[in-house]
Amino acid sequence: MKNIAIICGGDSGEYDISIKSGRVVSAHLDRNKYSSWLVEIKGNEWFYEDKAGKKYFIDKNDFSLTVAGAHIRFDGVFNAIHGTPGEDGKIQGYLDMLGIPYTSCGVDSSALSFNKHLCNKFISAYGISVANSVTFLKGEEIRQQEVIDTLGLPLFVKPARSGSSVGVSKVHTADKFEEAVKNALAEDDQVLIEEFIEGRELACGLINKGEELIVFPLTEIISKKDFFDYEAKYSEGLAHEVTPADVDAHVEQDIKTLSVFLFRQMGCKGFVRFDYILSDKGLYFLEVNAIPGMTEASLLPQMAEAFGMSITELFTIALDNLFE
């Protein structure tokens, strides 16, 4: 039986959601194949906590654990960290140096997908539509009226590097612009300001099973708030998620084909979710989630269920990939 560290937590506003994801992964792993250890990461504290509440700290020299005199070396890592350092390539680089395989995308594709500005540049290079945008670093002058004149209102103000819509604002009036920028810069030192694209939000999940790439049914996200923000994502009743999405067959095929193409071109692995806006003008790429939510209510497990795959099967495939 292989020892698996399920890493969760992290150093972002997604900490609590990541802990929930990690616990769900732990509860649903195939215990006939894998022995799991839930490892929380928060700053310099990396630890496993037993049922009595005692913490055992990870030896970062080799990512091992000693519990009650037993030295545990991990055969693989299930990465359930949303945000930094698990979704932006940092933890991947560390594990690569130690030769420990992990379930998520590698260093390059993680870093690329996590930076919305760079990812949009990469995606648009293939002729794929993305929202018009401008970006600024902390300390740079932002000429508010020029931005509004260029992008129009409403517009979105986002941290370039964050997930779960943490720090994201939809700005309808000019008097809310400065506050939105401050909220974004509280999460990252780079802000991305995008035009608003009216349309339907659609998501496409994929997972590789060895060399085979499985594409799940699409999900349409219908937020009951102004947009699909952090509260709508994680509060019951604030969003309606329809799986499979009620879209024309050619739209479904276009989205799935494009998602497969991007999965390959970005060098993704494991399970990934691509999000789009379907507008009257066509299909727009919105973002890619290299480590999507993993609770029973999260989008990817919903997609897998609609496909006929249980959450245990989903997680087992992700781990089996490490040892083929």
Q: Which residues are catalytic?
A: 14, 164, 234, 273, 275, 287, 289, 293
Single-letter code of the amino acid located at 107:
V
Q: Residues 184, 159: contact at Cβ < 8 Å? A: yes
- Inter-axis angle of helices 299-307 and 311-320, to 10 degrees? 100
Q: Residues 80, 86: contact at Cβ < 8 Å? A: yes
> Which tokens belong to 183?
């909220």
